[in-house]
């Protein structure tokens, strides 16, 4: 049986991750001079991180290098074990070029071992929900091929939409122009950003005002045909009251739906900023 890996950009909570008996690749970020590695909230303080951003701190993220991936994978290959890595979207980071280089070298050193990577085509809990159910299948004894087919099937049904509190963070990341950020701020226009089927971020809708943007997120569940046999996840970047407002709207339409709350971590939070609200769900 292979060793199952995921990364912290799936943003499962540390408590859930610990129950799955899998390995974790930690993604780096910095706020100030120190480079840190996200731990899924085990010792990370969400309130403190986003308070620093509100006070003007500009966190940065970076890709892992080839050496980092080798350090994660090689100990298990040395022990004669195969590797299955269910990753966040390959369209969202250059880190996978470094990963591929490491894997190519490791395959030459360990030709009898198998390294399988499957892309969730999501990020945050859009990746996390796929990782969670894939890990359960793996732990039940499914083969790597069976897990990969499951991931490829489920990822097509996972939807993610989010809106931000301050457009400055989207401007810094190149998601919108300086002009659009200025005009949007002036007019109170909030973009609705979704993850495409290819695993990219796309500005595909908008609303005027904070509450309207959250209402629009919930409307998309009905328009896309939410499958309430899966949990609905609400993400928040240090804005729990807004997430609770979203839950109220969801419960008005889907009284029996299971709704989970998750905080946005520092790597993804660095790009979207405090007061981001997102909804992740599975469609029928």
- Percent with pLDDT over 90 in the chain: 85
pTM of the model: 0.94
Please tell me the predicted confidence (pLDDT) of residue 172: 62
178: pLDDT confidence band, cut at 50, 70 and 90? Answer: very low
Task: Render pLDDT for 131-167 as a digit per residue (tens, 0 to 9).
Answer: 999 999 999 999 999 999 999 999 999 999 999 977 6
Q: Are 165 and 276 in the same domain?
A: yes
- Same domain for 131 and 71: yes
Q: pLDDT at residue 185 above 50? A: no
> Cα separation of 75 and 80, whole Å?
9
Q: Do 136 and 20 belong together in one domain?
A: yes
Report the pLDDT value the prediction gives residue 34, as an integer from 0 to 100. 84
**In terms of domains, do 192 and 150 share one?**
no
**Number of domains the chain is built from:** 2
Please give the mean pLDDT across all residues of the chain. Answer: 92
Same domain, 19 and 37: yes
Is it the case that residue 284 has pLDDT exceeding 80?
A: yes
pLDDT higher than 60, residue 224: yes
179 pLDDT band, cuts 50/70/90, is very low
- Candidate ranges 81-90, 167-176, 265-274; pick with highest mean pLDDT: 81-90
Give the per-residue pLDDT at 166.
73
Least confident of 14-18, 90-94, 179-183, 272-276: 179-183
Residues 146, 23 within the same domain: yes
Rg (CA), the chain: 19
Structural domain including 210 reads: 157-282
Higher pLDDT, 38 or 203: 38
**Domain limit, last residue, from 106, 140, 156:** 156
Specify the pLDDT at position 174: 55
């Amino acid at each position: 049986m292979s060793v199952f890996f995921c990364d912290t950009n799936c943003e499962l909570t540390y408590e859930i991750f610990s129950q799955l008996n899998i390995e974790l690749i930690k993604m780096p970020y910095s706020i100030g001079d120190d480079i840190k590695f996200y731990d899924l909230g085990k010792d990370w303080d969400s309130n403190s991180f986003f308070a620093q951003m509100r006070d003007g701190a500009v966190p940065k993220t970076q890709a892992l290098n080839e050496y980092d991936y080798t350090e994660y994978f090689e100990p298990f290959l040395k022990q004669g074990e195969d590797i299955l890595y269910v990753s966040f979207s390959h369209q969202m980071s250059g880190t996978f070029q470094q990963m591929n280089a490491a894997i190519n070298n490791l395959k030459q050193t360990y030709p009898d071992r198998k390294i399988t990577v499957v892309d969730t085509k999501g990020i945050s809990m859009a990746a996390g929900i796929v990782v969670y159910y894939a890990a359960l299948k793996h732990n039940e004894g499914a083969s790597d091929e069976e897990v990969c087919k499951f991931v490829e099937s489920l990822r097509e049904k996972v939807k993610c939409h989010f809106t931000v509190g301050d457009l400055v963070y989207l401007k810094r990341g190149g998601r919108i122009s300086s002009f659009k950020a200025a005009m949007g701020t002036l007019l109170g226009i909030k973009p609705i950003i979704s993850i495409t089927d290819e695993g990219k971020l796309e500005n595909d809708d908008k609303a005027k005002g904070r509450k309207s943007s959250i209402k629009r997120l919930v409307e998309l569940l009905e328009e896309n045909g939410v499958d309430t046999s899966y949990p609905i996840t609400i993400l928040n970047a240090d804005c729990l009251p807004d997430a609770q407002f979203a839950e109220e709207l969801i419960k008005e339409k889907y009284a029996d739906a299971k709704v989970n709350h998750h905080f946005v971590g520092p790597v993804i939070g660095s790009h979207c900023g405090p007061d981001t609200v997102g909804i992740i769900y599975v469609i029928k």
